[in-house]
């Protein structure tokens, strides 16, 4: 178990682009204050890199650089000394980013972000709020990383996922795939530096698509969908051993959703990383032994009301088949956590889990419907756009969430 995730705690997931102004600044500080008032310990975010044209932060133009669009004050002055110091500190990647993103101005924006972020993180720490980041497993095609390190990537195949509960055609992500033997020959230095950068920004990070580091779905380049892909072996434990030799203990959450095999489970357990369980997956009458069912949750895990790839609790509830809804109603009643609104019942049910950490999406605290869904996998447009209305999270919301956290021993 990560030392940072010891004890029973709770948090809320909200990407900075979903703050009322869509960026850092006053809204971010107000949200930290609200989290503290609500008895929360964590603020979880999506990746902070420059998104693609569809606004996806999982296809960022850099695995290291932050997005200029997040800046609260994009016109703040930056000195030559600050730029020189940043170049020296981030020498592994900043030159590659500078070459593709606009020279000195691109570096100045990273200095601005670093300044704003350090201030926000200090403010959060003073209020006992930790920050959880997100590491996409892949980089975007044509990104600064792909262009600067072509020798680290394979040709002829792209990333995706096989058919599953999200899509019967699979998911065709289109990201370049790593040449793992090439990375191994370089002692996984690129990945080590990526995590070094991540932990300079966050206390803990969720590593996306953890199973792809055991075996990954490779799709022929140019395929119409992901059904014609096949599994290839990933680096396994060797990657994490190399990173931990340089960085020490790795404060990671393993996103172990999807097709999870025994080798994936063995690797996660051997590394001590908490996995993920999702309440919305826990009521399938045909899957009584599934890991997402509340009675099967483990202490060394993180329970989510839902993820950014799922509908909100309200949208999910209103679309449930009768049998699944009845199973959820029965489980809520058995736990004694009934609320007038079923999404609040689900938050309290998640809080009752033995999992160390319980995470709710801000949309679920607000009781918003499908219009507030962050992403629909397989859809090329229309996602990543939800933004919270000013003042939407009220003192009453905070009081109610704190009461739920206190009752569950998570405050």
Q: pLDDT (tens digit, 9 = 90+) per residue, 299-334?
A: 999 999 999 999 999 999 999 999 899 999 999 999
Look at residue 95 in the predicted model and tell me its pLDDT. Answer: 96
Look at residue 147 in the predicted model and tell me its pLDDT. Answer: 95
- DSSP assignment of 204-227: EEEETTGGGGTEEEEEETT-SSST
CA distance 93 to 148: 9
Q: pLDDT (tens digit, 9 = 90+) per residue, 74-128?
A: 999 999 999 999 999 999 999 999 999 989 999 999 999 999 999 999 999 999 9
Low-confidence ranges of the chain (pLDDT < 50): 1
Residue 6, SS3?
coil
Which pTM does this prediction carry?
0.94
Residue the block writes with tokens 């964590």: 42
Look at residue 2 in the predicted model and tell me its pLDDT. Answer: 63
Look at residue 3 in the predicted model and tell me its pLDDT. Answer: 61
Give every CB contact of residue 233 below 8 A, 6+ residues apart in sequence: 180, 214, 215
H or E segment to which residue 317 belongs: helix 313-318
Q: Pairing relation of β-strands 153-161 and 171-178? A: antiparallel
CB 393 within 8 A of CB 362: yes
Alpha-carbon distances, residue 241 vs 75, 174, 250 (angstroms): 42, 28, 10
Q: Which of 34, 6, 41 is nearest to 125 (CA)?
A: 41
Residues annotated as catalytic are: 208, 255, 309
> What 8-state DSSP symbol labels residue 230?
E
Look at residue 37 in the predicted model and tell me its pLDDT. Answer: 98
Give every CB contact of residue 181 below 8 A, 6+ residues apart in sequence: none
Give every CB contact of residue 141 below 8 A, 6+ residues apart in sequence: 59, 158, 174, 175, 176
CA distance 132 to 302: 12
Alpha-carbon distances, residue 347 vs 64, 179, 280, 364 (angstroms): 34, 41, 11, 8
Q: Which of 20, 1, 10, 5 is nearest to 398 (CA)?
A: 10
Strands in 171-178's sheet, in edge-to-edge order, are 171-178, 153-161, 215-220, 230-233
Look at residue 163 in the predicted model and tell me its pLDDT. Answer: 84
Look at residue 166 in the predicted model and tell me its pLDDT. Answer: 65
Give every CB contact of residue 80 below 8 A, 6+ residues apart in sequence: none
Strands in 252-254's sheet, in edge-to-edge order, are 252-254, 204-207, 130-135, 42-44, 9-13, 357-361, 301-304, 275-278
């Amino acid at each position: 178990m990560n030392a940072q995730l010891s004890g029973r705690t709770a948090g809320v997931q909200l990407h900075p682009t979903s703050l009322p102004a869509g960026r850092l600044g006053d809204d971010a500080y107000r949200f930290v204050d609200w989290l503290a008032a609500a008895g929360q310990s964590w603020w979880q975010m999506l990746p902070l890199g420059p998104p693609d044209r569809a606004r996806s932060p999982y296809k960022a133009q850099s695995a290291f650089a932050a997005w200029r669009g997040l800046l609260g004050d994009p016109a703040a002055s930056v000195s030559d000394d600050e730029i020189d110091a940043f170049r020296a500190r981030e020498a592994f990647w900043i030159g590659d980013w500078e070459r593709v993103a606009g020279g000195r101005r691109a570096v100045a924006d990273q200095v601005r972000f670093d300044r704003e972020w350090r201030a926000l993180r200090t403010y959060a720490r003073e209020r006992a709020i930790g920050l959880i980041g997100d590491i996409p497993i892949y980089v975007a095609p044509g990104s600064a990383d792909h262009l600067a390190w072509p020798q680290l990537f394979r040709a002829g195949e792209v990333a995706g996922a096989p058919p599953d509960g999200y899509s019967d055609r699979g998911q065709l992500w289109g990201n370049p795939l790593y040449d793992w033997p090439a990375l191994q020959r370089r002692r996984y230095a690129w990945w080590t530096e990526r995590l070094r950068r991540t932990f300079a920004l966050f206390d803990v990070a969720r590593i996306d698509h953890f199973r792809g580091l055991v075996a990954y779905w490779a799709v022929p380049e140019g395929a119409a969908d992901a059904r014609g892909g096949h599994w290839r072996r990933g680096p396994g434990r060797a990657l994490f051993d190399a990173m931990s030799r340089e960085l020490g203990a790795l404060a990671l959450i393993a996103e172990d959703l999807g097709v999870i095999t025994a080798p994936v489970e063995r690797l996660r357990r051997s590394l001590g990383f908490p996995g993920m369980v999702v309440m919305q997956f826990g009521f399938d009458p045909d899957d009584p032994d599934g890991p997402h069912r509340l009675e099967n949750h483990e202490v060394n895990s993180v329970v989510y009301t839902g993820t950014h790839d799922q509908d909100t609790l309200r949208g999910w509830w209103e679309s449930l088949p009768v049998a699944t809804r009845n199973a959820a109603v029965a489980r809520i009643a058995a736990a004694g956590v009934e609320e007038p609104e079923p999404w609040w019942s689900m938050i309290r049910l998640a809080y009752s889990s033995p999992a160390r950490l319980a995470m709710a999406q801000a949309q679920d605290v607000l009781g918003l419907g499908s219009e507030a869904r962050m992403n629909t996998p397989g859809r090329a447009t229309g996602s990543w756009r939800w933004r919270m209305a000013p003042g939407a999270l009220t003192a009453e919301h905070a009081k109610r969430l704190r009461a739920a956290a206190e009752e569950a021993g998570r405050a």
